[in-house]
Amino acid sequence: MFLKKQKQMIKTNIPLKNKNWFKTGGNARFYAEPTTAAEFQHALAFAKEQQVPVFILGEGANILISDDGFDGLVIHPQLSAIEHHIDGNNAIIHADAGVSMDTLIDYCLSHQISGLEEFSGIPSSVGGAIFINLHYFQFLISQFLIEAQVIHKDTGKIEIVNNEWFKFGYDYSTLHDGNYFLVSATFKLKRISELEAAYARGRRAEIIRHRNARYPLSHTCGSFFRNFHPHEVTVQSNGKKMIFVAYYLDKIGIKGALSVGDAIVSHQHANMFVNRGNATSTDIIQLARTIQELTQEHFGILPQPECLLVGFNEYPLKKVA
């Protein structure tokens, strides 16, 4: 029964180009879409048997997949349950890893629960949000997480862990180590009145309008480079280190102008690249390397990617010495 389940679930040579926001990249050698925790375990057992690496694919918005694809198992979780209970003025929300953040926010506001609307309009699954510690201005998803279920890559054992286990940082969680993957997450949010829920819906609409005016809506990974750490820069503004990478990219004048093939820097944001239709991942990498070189030439600092690079046999960008 176990082997039959694996054979039904594991597919081979599946294109990934239509499964990520950049719309680039090659095929997955193996591919699975588990809908239950047990199926997730079956998929990981298959990867262990085949001795292949595993990549967990969420909404595909913060990744760049190699044109050679991924020589392992891509797991695209489809676990989709959401439930909640009220605890005084709080609401405890339990959501599976495959739930999209937009779906979760809709659920919350429909049940007069507030907090996650700050992340409106950001393409992400719950699993991806926890993986990267999803952020928007001063808000971090880690501020709301109280516990989660994670599954071990090799044993398939599911464990319940608390917020501290994730060691959250900027664009970071323990999940980056690749030994555990998210199965579900539990959030502590605020129970609100019907009127407050209507206000929160309006705020959500305004956040989305603001994002749509500032950022490209498709064929991008969002911010390609992470912001600098304070120790990496010397430029100051109002007594504070200028850590924002877009500040430096704006200064070198690449917005809407610099391109490689069909990959171009967005006219809306200097730290976002857009596939105009036929760009390859190689084009995007060359565009990113050119920007690294220009930034290093002008400011003596080297931007590093926030975008997750998937399936590359060798690191394709310039590293800090």
- Cα–Cα distance measured from residue 195 to residue 68, given in angstroms and rounded to the nearest whole number: 52
How do residues 105-134 score in pLDDT, each as one tens digit?
999 999 999 999 999 999 999 999 999 999
Decide if 84 contacts 92 (C-beta within 8 A): yes
Rounded to an integer, the average pLDDT of 83-105 is 97
Tokens describing residue 72: 């392992």
Rounded to an integer, the average pLDDT of 244-268 is 97
Rounded to an integer, the average pLDDT of 310-314 is 97
Q: What is the CA radius of gyration of the chain?
A: 20
Helix or strand holding residue 162 (H, E): strand 158-162
pLDDT at position 320 is 86
Indicate if the pLDDT at residue 7 is higher than 70.
Answer: no
Identity (one letter) of the amino acid at 26? G
β partners of residue 188: 92
Residue 5 CB-density burial (10 A; 0-12 exposed, 13-18 middle, 19+ buried): middle
How do residues 137-161 score in pLDDT, each as one tens digit?
889 999 999 999 999 999 999 999 9
Indicate if the pLDDT at residue 1 is higher than 60.
Answer: no
Rounded to an integer, the average pLDDT of 37-62 is 97
Tokens describing residue 276: 């105009």
Indicate if the pLDDT at residue 5 is higher than 70.
Answer: no
β partners of residue 223: 272
Rounded to an integer, the average pLDDT of 84-113 is 97
Least confident of 6-20, 99-113, 120-134, 269-283: 6-20
pLDDT at position 279 is 98
pLDDT at position 29 is 98
pLDDT at position 116 is 97
Indicate if the pLDDT at residue 46 is higher than 90.
Answer: yes
pLDDT at position 8 is 78
Q: What is the mean pLDDT of the chain?
A: 95
161 three-state secondary structure: strand
- Report strand pairing: 54-56 vs 70-75: parallel
pLDDT at position 137 is 83
Confidence of residue 219 (pLDDT cuts 50, 70, 90): very high
Please provide the DSSP assignment of 94-157 as one string.
EEETTSBHHHHHHHHHHTTEESGGGGTT---BHHHHHHHT-EETTEEGGGTEEEEEEEETTT--
pLDDT at position 3 is 52
Indicate if the pLDDT at residue 37 is higher than 90.
Answer: yes
The pTM (predicted TM-score) of the whole model is: 0.94
Share of the chain above pLDDT 90, in %: 92
Decide if 318 contacts 297 (C-beta within 8 A): no
Cα–chain-centroid distance for residue 204? 20
pLDDT at position 58 is 96
Confidence of residue 84 (pLDDT cuts 50, 70, 90): very high
Domains in the chain: ranges and CATH: 2-75 (3.30.43.10), 82-214 (3.30.465.10), 230-310 (3.90.78.10)
Rounded to an integer, the average pLDDT of 297-307 is 96
- Cα–Cα distance measured from residue 277 to residue 114, given in angstroms and rounded to the nearest whole number: 38
Rounded to an integer, the average pLDDT of 78-101 is 97
- Cα–Cα distance measured from residue 118 to residue 134, given in angstroms and rounded to the nearest whole number: 10
